[in-house]
Structure 1
């Protein structure tokens, strides 16, 4: 063997080695269709036996072997036709097919110049799986973007070029590509008022001082409106010197959230019924105005407004009428004020006005007069014409105070004076009002101590039969003997108790003391106690009363509770439930002051009253007023028809007593019989079996 032959064999061996180490399978077919070369990788990828290929078979033999092994059983119809068409073998062609074992091959055929072809086989299974995984991920991402509210963006900070998702454009009303995908576009769409804050936050992050970028801002939509956005981002690539290179993030439309927050903020600072500023916003604006006065001088005024007779409308026509009235009043007040002034609803029937510029001291009083006149005009409500008045208290800054709390308190004191001096008028704060308020606070403190210290006393006024003069019971009336002020009249401390909230404690003290006293009496006389509106609002009132009866040992049948119709008219179903529970205990119920409020036959029929009390304003005029006499007769007839006894209050003359006896009134009460006195003055009557005889009769026993 010569050296040339050896060299040739060495080259052939080297070629075989190179071919067998290739990552691709390779098969070379000559012009006669014989497989001249088939490397090890091709054998492995195609599962061909080495023995078959060692003999250099015809390519057709290889194909038949593959067909016999089911190699093309899962191939597509197009591929099967290609396999069957041997004339296509040497055409340039590249295709992919999945083998029965799941391997995916990329097969490429390259024709040779002298005939035949080279065919390569590449295992692309991993790549195809990665492509499928990527496609699934991209599909999921696209679905998530469509379902979510996040717009995505990716910005090359070296060029300013950016990519934004369809959602990013869509929330602003643009089609993708309608505007340039560049950082300048984002800046151009920013609201001018938000651009500064957004740029500062951006610089903080790009410089590395802030870990992320987050900013709430407005962006202009295609239609010109503004959308609130929350943009978050982070630098994901930096140069060696720290410069930010790539910036990606999200943008969410938060317009709905901002609108909701705005609504909540508005609700927190405005009255829900009238949409006027509430107390908090009023004081905020007052503080701002007073701070301005400190710096620049000038004057402002605070007006506290209280509606007169509002409760009467609310009680007689219900809350719907009351709410309508408050809205109408708010509208009228706004119509009188200047744009720079503020009106607020403080709650209930109380309003406040801030007169921003009150340089002329008379301006606030003139405004108060105009407000009173505006509110006086009747307000149509269905078939009714609602009519209320307005009382106004005025305090001016700086003359009456230079801080909001003092100024407002002084205006409130002036309102209190206006209400106590006739209502439907206005009063300007005077220093003496502060002294009066201090005295009122002292009185409230003393009243609280008197209730807690059991320092109050009860006086009792007898109720007698008009026919026989027999004592039937007493009405218990609270009195306050102040250690330094002396006897404080009820009309001085009862309203104070109602205003301060002490009426609940006071009412419970009266009820307990009256029951305790009556339980000591030898004779089973009744004791009548008035219930205040605040007491009647207690859901557990029947249980409270039963507990007091149990504690004191008084039989429920000896207790009579007096209520006015205004206590029950607001919520008649609730009131009926309370009265029925009290009746179930055996407690008697009397309607007090009948004829002075909104008493109706329907109310008397619907509620379980045992007694009607005719107000003294009618009884006191039966001698001189035919109309009063007719009203009293009508009430007496009504009581008989409904099976209720009738008590006449305020009987002061023998003639009134004779009239009541003639008209068959059941009971009488008044100064003719006895003024309210300590129970000790009636010691004989509450213990003597013969009872108490009314003055004026032959058998009268003087109390």
Structure 2
């Protein structure tokens, strides 16, 4: 019972053979079997058709015989004889039934054989239209009565024929099938034998063995040969590809590791945003720069970390697809609340279909750089402000004035608009400084600057040029209006009183006025013209306004133009000391050096004789002398003896005497040998004050020399009054003494005069050995000139 249930519950499934050889054998056998079945069916069908035709003939013959018998007029009483006749006809196997009826349908005769229906295969092969088969005919008996005759053919013979042919065809098919199966199996076993090692090779490949030890079987089949070759080539290519793939994988893993280290070690922030502007990737630099944790930041909108609204709007989802930034400065919030500055490089990303996918970019921390640049910018602004303004008064300085005046003149004169220049100089400012001290003098300068700011018009320009000298540039103003403005300014300054610890001081000023283009079409000419006017103001008693006359002499303008250069040279340190040796003619060695003034302009060196007259005219001799002495003392060794030139007229300025003494006293105290070389360029009366000043200098240790004796304003009275230590013989006499007897006698006379006063003589302008020899024969020991060395600037 259990076995029956198992068998009943089993599902029978046909499994097709697994091997290619078996499958092909089954296919070939099936094809042969199918062919046999089709052939057998065709043969059976043809046999059935033949049998059907034979039965049809038999039926027609029987029908004709019955019709003939009826028509012969067999009477009804002789029906037996007919019956026997028909029965004999019905004995034929092809006839299954015979029926004779009269016109009224009455049965006259009927024969029915055993019932038999054609088999399904007979009906299939013979055709349903051929079965059942009935033959009918009509006849008339001799008595004139109509008779109908029906004959039915039998199916049994058809089944017999079909079975006989099917059995014979089936036996033949089975034999052929077995033969075909055996032959196909053997043939295919031979043909498919090379496939087995190929299969083993593929199996080894699947297990990861890229070099299987399987011997391929050679075959005469071109396809198998090609397949073997393809497997062999494919195996080599596959091994090479797998080797390359393995190397690429290792390289990729190495590069990925390196890239990860690089990304993790980057000082810049590497980030990625999705198409909604949310952070989806950040490297560790994010935490070190911003202080925010990466886990907290991922998934949040990047715009939340931007400190500026304009930048945050650029990171809205609607604008992200257009992003392409390079070195853009952005401000980020940090976890500590401090604002960070970063440099952004970012680009929108798109897939192969052109759809926007997000943003990839980097941030570099430039906070220190931005802060440093801002600090530098502020420092630069401050330095520029310091470079163009006077720190004491806050007005523009001389440097800015020189450049700005050129700009103003270029702009206004091109439009035929006049420009006037006012130079304002405070009278007695040096006395104020010396008497009340520099702090009070600074207060006076600041007060004057405030007056200028209060009175200057909106578009005009003011500057401090030097110690107590100011400038006001009046734009689009003619000489008459400039004069009225100068008068108003002069009155305001005169009414100003600066408080003192006790009482107050009233200020006074001298003002020079010049106009462009009347007095000059460039800055230098206009300043020179205003300087000339200021000079006339001071010459005519100070505390007044002087307007330069249009017919001022060109010679006067030339002097002041040079004076302008001289002032600039003094302010910019372009007046330099030059040193000429004074030598002992016996040894040829220097005993001292005379300090001479030189001016350097645009690379050219100008001797003192070319600018000292201008200095005297403008009262700058004292400034030049003090500058040269100060520079020479600062840049020469202490053991170097110096001859310092001082104009005798400079002693009339008490401030000069005070400053000279302040320079020479510490120099002499340090052991330096200094000789004051007096130069007389004009007749100066010898006063008690002058004697006291020179005696004071001598008390420091200074010696005294009289320059260019024998020419100019040098007098015997000076020799008698001061008894100098050295007497320098005028060079023109020395140069001519060999050709001119008079010059030789003058040189001899001066030397003898010096000896009588106990002085040493120094011959100037000694240029050759013959002159040196003649001087030595006279007894003169010291000399200077080109023979011993030309003046040289300090290195």
Using structure 1 for the length normalisation, give the TM-score: 0.41
What TM-score do you get using the length of structure 2 for normalisation? 0.37
More helix by share: 2
